[in-house]
Amino acid sequence: MASLVVLVCLNACKKDEQTSNTSLSSSNKNSARTLAWETVLDGSSLASYAAFDANWNYLYPWGPSHNGSAKMVGSSTDHSQIYLSNNILYLKATPIANPVDRFHYLSGTVWAKHIVNITDQYPQYEIKGTFQCPSAKGTWPAFWISGTQTWPPESDIMEFKGNNTNWQNTFITSSNVQTVKTVVSSPASWHVYRVWINKVNATEVDIHYYIDGAWKAVHRANFVNKPMWVIFDLQMEGSSGTPGPTGTTYLLGKDFYIGRTKAF
């Protein structure tokens, strides 16, 4: 049964930027079930701060810092580093004039309130966004999913580390990492970054990576029943090199989308 679902999805995914919201079905000699498509987050989440606050959280799920030298700032009443304009989300990294610790920048991170979890009931997920990314040395923009209970799992849908090469990584363990690297022409122009995730057996999924509708790779990982956050952040320095920019840096995002199939 699961293999037939994957075949349906793979055929659709490899053709183009799959946009069907029609019902899918699969069956075998023992059972039959319908897979109905549902959208759980879309671009309307950027229509207003009220809509944003209903769908997104500020900072990282674990607090204001992570790898790199940026300390994240933001809340429903503080939009100095995270703000909306014309259905576009802006993350802004600002150098700290006289840093006294490892933090050299103030910046922004958000994460979706919807938790991605590939299960027998929700065997397929699509996650994507459209971004204008900085790529100068010391800039580290990313759009990724990460385990809520353990690490890994992690899947990096968009990640630039100080140049115009996008990294799409799947962390199965800290040392077992599958990676596809793509040189992106003009990362600061709008580009679409996407994954399509299919449950293929009791423990594993296939993760299909895309940029601008072009299929880049498929990675197999043991991500079934492992809930994950969807994170969008502008980190600085760290793996992207030092020193970072002396001026303000922006990461822009729009048309965020999370959808899934639900089995009946």
Each residue's pLDDT tens digit, 127-164: 999 999 999 999 999 999 999 999 999 999 999 999 99
pTM over 0.75: yes
Catalytic-labelled residue, pool 17, 38, 126, 159:
159
Tally of domains within the chain: 1
Contact 123, 142 (CB under 8 A): no
Strands (E), 96-211: 105-107, 109-112, 124-132, 139-147, 154-159, 165-171, 177-183, 191-199, 205-211
Domain that holds residue 24: 2-263
CATH, residue 56: 2.60.120.200
Each residue's pLDDT tens digit, 34-48: 899 999 999 999 999
Catalytic-labelled residue, pool 126, 154, 204, 237:
154
- Identify whether 154 is a catalytic site residue: yes
Each residue's pLDDT tens digit, 217-251: 999 999 999 999 999 999 999 999 999 999 999 99
- Identify whether 17 is a catalytic site residue: no
